[in-house]
Chain A
């Protein structure tokens, strides 16, 4: 009887050990995905902190007028609120906004981040370098071209709206470089230019767009530029190249800015949803199973140890008697 009991206890301990190990490995393998997604995300910063009274006095949605009763209430936890409005409380929803811009080279934009719109060397269609800066500076020349793609990601759990603006200019300003460009969005919409339409630098300077992104969603833009090899004005192209050789640098600069803010409409869900990996496992259950297995196993081990100790003592007492 005693042996059967021991056998049962040991078997149960082994089963719990296996459950603990399996659930721990599942949890750890899925933790990795979440960590990478959050890495580098720029958290939304507080730009207009309100006191508790101000918060309660202001409407939850900007279009609504504040109620006079709400101005008298000083509770930080949102007790009295303007009639008909719902102020989220800690028990309802934790706002965790986030926004990030990342390009095709995995460069995350910050403030005046240098990106690879232009290059120091260019290759032709056969892979041979045909343009090569002599000092590492990025250059443009007849026949050079490039495409630059960047992604705007809503890494938070609330919708955001964004504004995109492009500045483009040539220095010194009295020269013109015959570079032309176009910009399009992921859905095929042309922000400036078109499938067969290229615009010059002053027009690129006016390019702008805005939109919204649902939580966890993203959008992307592609900027194409080129300096046509056969622009029809070889004389002017040669003139620019000779000026450069004489040390008179003529440069083209492109600056792309994005500004993201919380949207007035929390129901907006625009943007591209990241591809579903197919893993819809409920992590909390796995964590509970892992923790529970470990705890039960520990209890069982302690119980078995005490049982053994007690039986030894009984045997010793029986021998003495």
Chain B
């Protein structure tokens, strides 16, 4: 009995000690706790590479290829001022010139942000519209007189040996056989009939690594505006829309194309390392188009006329036949100066401006 009581007392005391100890120990310590949070981030990637390398045209050409003006003085083609034969600081193209290295442009990268590609492209190409052209050269006033006037109307094989023309205002009419007049007479030289619009400069768009640059001979593509074909490809890739042709026949394309974060621009736009080359060859090796040389001559004369000094305006005049399509009355036909940008264009250009920016 005593042992039980002792056990009970001991148990009760044990419980009391445990309770007391836990309570008091709670009052002894100094309490401190530390917490820490951390985060880090890196700058998101941009890395858009937009490159344009090379020139399409040049001021000078050596051996038909664009040459560095400063590097050599033996040029085959060079722009000069006709007034004083000084070098004109302007890019030129001419029959026999070409640019095989071309103009390389590329757009690539894989940014981690959304963006937009804003582009503007302007094209213009040299052409000679379909029609009959020639160059009116004045006849020396001593050559045609009242006494020998009729001799100029002698025929051979039913055709006049020489057709004289006279100028009335801005128009050139065939001189009438029956009536001589004391006026200036002209003959028509370098006459050529252009069957369809003629684009002498052939452009090509390639990856630049397959050797297929612009052909240096005409193969029938001169009837096609190859620059417009290239523009159509770029238009699709960059989301462009052509505007109306300007008065100078140039066409401006504008537009945008959006891309998303992590898009591979080379695959999305597909304009990675593209090369544009061109050539204006001398002859039509394929012999598809007639009168290549004469058409080139007309264009060359038009260019010369364009830059002729004012005091030499009437040395020659390039004319185009205005055919009224009334076969019964050819006397209504006349020649007059062709209209720039309607009948011909002497300028060619390719401009491409691309901006790539992040979108919010």
Residues of chain A having any CB pair with chain B under 8 Å: 42, 44-50, 52, 55, 76-78, 87-91, 94-97, 99-101, 103, 107, 109-119, 124, 128-134, 137-144, 150, 160, 177, 229, 238, 240-246, 249-262
Bound state CA distance, A114 and B40, in angstroms?
9
- The chain A residue sitting closest to B38, CB to CB, is A255
B85 at the interface (CB under 8 A from A): no
Report yes or no: B43 in contact with A249, Cβ–Cβ below 8 A: yes
Chain B residues positioned under 8 Å from A141 (CB to CB): 43-44, 112-113, 358
B33 at the interface (CB under 8 A from A): yes
B121-138 vs A, Cβ < 8 Å mask (1 yes, 0 no): 000000000000000000
Chain A residues positioned under 8 Å from B140 (CB to CB): none
Shortest Cβ gap from B140 to chain A (Å) = 68
Chain A residues positioned under 8 Å from B40 (CB to CB): 118, 138, 251-254
Chain B residues positioned under 8 Å from A250 (CB to CB): 42-43
Bound state CA distance, A126 and B37, in angstroms?
31
Bound state CA distance, A50 and B27, in angstroms?
9
A116's partner among B28, B39, B46 (CB-CB below 8 A) is B39
Bound state CA distance, A132 and B261, in angstroms?
6
Chain B residues positioned under 8 Å from A113 (CB to CB): 35-38
Bound state CA distance, A47 and B32, in angstroms?
7
A141-B44, A250-B42 as given contacts; A256 in contact with B31, CB under 8 Å: no
Report yes or no: B24 in contact with A244, Cβ–Cβ below 8 A: no
A109's partner among B27, B35, B46, B262 (CB-CB below 8 A) is B35
Give the top 8 A-B pairs by smallest Cβ distance, nearest first.
A245-B47, A241-B46, A90-B23, A44-B31, A46-B29, A118-B41, A141-B44, A132-B261
For B24, B41, B261, B359, the residue with the greatest tally of chain A CB atoms inside 10 Å of its CB is B41
Residues of chain B having any CB pair with chain A under 8 Å: 19-20, 22-24, 26-47, 109-114, 260-262, 358-360
A44-B31, A113-B37 as given contacts; A134 in contact with B262, CB under 8 Å: yes
A44-B31, A131-B44 as given contacts; A112 in contact with B23, CB under 8 Å: no
Cross-chain pairs A/B with CB under 8 angstroms, 24 sampled: A45-B29, A76-B24, A91-B23, A97-B31, A111-B36, A112-B36, A115-B39, A117-B39, A130-B261, A130-B360, A131-B112, A132-B112, A132-B260, A134-B45, A139-B112, A142-B113, A240-B43, A241-B46, A242-B46, A243-B43, A245-B45, A254-B39, A257-B36, A258-B36
Bound state CA distance, A241 and B43, in angstroms?
7
Bound state CA distance, A128 and B113, in angstroms?
12
Bound state CA distance, A110 and B23, in angstroms?
28
Bound state CA distance, A44 and B28, in angstroms?
12
Chain A residues positioned under 8 Å from B38 (CB to CB): 112-115, 253-256
Bound state CA distance, A143 and B20, in angstroms?
61
Chain A residues positioned under 8 Å from B32 (CB to CB): 44-45, 47, 259-261
Bound state CA distance, A87 and B262, in angstroms?
67
Report yes or no: B31 in contact with A94, Cβ–Cβ below 8 A: no
Bound state CA distance, A90 and B39, in angstroms?
44
Bound state CA distance, A90 and B27, in angstroms?
8
Shortest Cβ gap from B6 to chain A (Å) = 24
Chain A residues positioned under 8 Å from B24 (CB to CB): 76-78, 89-90
Report yes or no: A133 in contact with B112, Cβ–Cβ below 8 A: yes
A112-B36, A130-B359 as given contacts; A47 in contact with B29, CB under 8 Å: yes
Shortest Cβ gap from A116 to chain B (Å) = 7
For B34, B111, B359, the residue with the greatest tally of chain A CB atoms inside 10 Å of its CB is B34
- The chain B residue sitting closest to A165, CB to CB, is B36
Report yes or no: A133 in contact with B44, Cβ–Cβ below 8 A: yes
A134's partner among B31, B43, B112 (CB-CB below 8 A) is B112
Chain A residues positioned under 8 Å from B111 (CB to CB): 241, 245
Report yes or no: B37 in contact with A246, Cβ–Cβ below 8 A: no
Shortest Cβ gap from A119 to chain B (Å) = 8
Report yes or no: A47 in contact with B30, Cβ–Cβ below 8 A: yes
